[in-house]
Amino acid sequence: MVGINEVAKAAGVSISTVSYALSGKRPVTEETRRRVQETVERLGYTPNARARALAGKQTRILALTEPLHEYTHAPTHMTFVLAASVAARRLGYDILLLTDEDAAPGMSRVALSGLVDGILVLDVAPDDVRADLARSLDLPTVFIGVPESSEGLVCVDLDFVAAGALAVDAFAEAGHRTIGLLGHAADAYEVSNFPPRVRDGFLTRAQERGLEAHFEPLSGDGSLALQVVHALDALLARGVTAIALHNGEDEHEVVLEAVARRGLTVPGDVSLISVGASFDTARLPVPMDAVPLVAQRSCDLAVELATDSATRPGVRLIAPELVDHGSIAQAPVADG
């Protein structure tokens, strides 16, 4: 292992000059800088991360806590992990995985031992134990998602209320007057935290704009396909001409199949939009408009907040955006 001493000797400067030439934290003559740079390359010098961490007081590692449950949706989850990793690397950080089922011990361990510079919290539950822990830890911690009690925490999330509202707007502007929201399993609206936010944003905005809006969660029994079809039929029976989907990729596909099986076309007979999905709705059998949950946006912001010493507590809601893939058409002219 070639060290900074050898580089300094070979370049004919002091080790502090080598350090500063590489970090740029102190002005260095262009000539000196070039000589150091060249020597570094010639000798194949790579600064030792351990020494750097001890002396410089930062490891440039962020912990990512993601307690994996059996009901964790793997693809979605992986999207976020990947996005976090990309975002971190972009700012020169690496990601340390914390996958313990009960996250607290791992978090404390890496925090107290000074192994990481910050913590990213994934899969946030409303009553997440990591909330209290984060408040006690004295280490930059960013929640990707919002727990029930978020005071004093740094949280990043899609503005799900606005996302639900945006879907309504899209329908309303296309002239739809009777619209539906096909949601997650009914339990999710009690246990989880964003499904109700989408629902409320949807229903509230619909009321504001004078639309007739119907909400159907998935009923808890039968196969997924059956549940979805059941909810879909309930909405269609009420005369909706446009449906927003807030659930998973499988549910989206079942809806498209069921719609086709009923001889309906998208968007000719029924308009569709996906809300809060983190997969690519353009790749569905029928490309679907969406107000997506973009993992990369959440993670970019999260990493930035976690690595910026000026970060203050607070919830940062990411403004939703509409992505058009042609699954919304003008509503048929109503004769009512």
| Residues of this chain that bind a copy of itself (CB under 8 A) | 1, 44, 46-54, 59, 61, 64, 68, 74-75, 77-78, 81-82, 85-86, 89, 94-100, 106, 109-110, 112-115
Q: Does 48 bind DNA (CB under 7 A)?
A: yes
- Residue from 9, 10, 29, 133 binding DNA (CB under 7 A): 29
Give every CB contact of residue 26 below 8 A, 6+ residues apart in sequence: 20
| Cβ contact 17:29 at 8 Å | no
Helix (H, G, I), strand (E, B) or coil at 174: coil
Give every CB contact of residue 248 below 8 A, 6+ residues apart in sequence: 73, 76, 277
Q: Which does 224 bind (CB under 5 to 8 A by kind): a copy of itself, DNA, none?
A: none
CB of 126 to DNA, least distance (A): 36
Q: Which does 64 bind (CB under 5 to 8 A by kind): a copy of itself, DNA, none?
A: a copy of itself
Using the CB atoms, write b or e for 207-245: b if 16+ within 10 Å.
eebebebbbbbbeeeeeeeebbbbbbebbbeeebbbbbb
Site for DNA in 109-148 (CB under 7 A): none
CB of 20 to DNA, least distance (A): 5
Q: Does 16 bind DNA (CB under 7 A)?
A: yes
Cα first-last separation, the chain: 81
Site for DNA in 261-320 (CB under 7 A): none
Nearer to a copy of itself, 260 or 319 (CB): 260
Q: What residues pair up with 156 in beta bridges, in sequence order?
A: 144, 316
DSSP for residue 323 = B
Q: Does 72 bind DNA (CB under 7 A)?
A: no
Q: Which does 148 bind (CB under 5 to 8 A by kind): a copy of itself, DNA, none?
A: none
- Phi and psi for 192 in degrees, rounded to 5? -95, 180
| Cβ contact 11:36 at 8 Å | yes
Q: Which does 136 bind (CB under 5 to 8 A by kind): DNA, a copy of itself, none?
A: none
- Give the footprint of DNA on this chain (CB under 7 A): 1, 3-5, 12-17, 19-20, 22-23, 25-29, 31-32, 45, 47-48, 50-52, 54-57
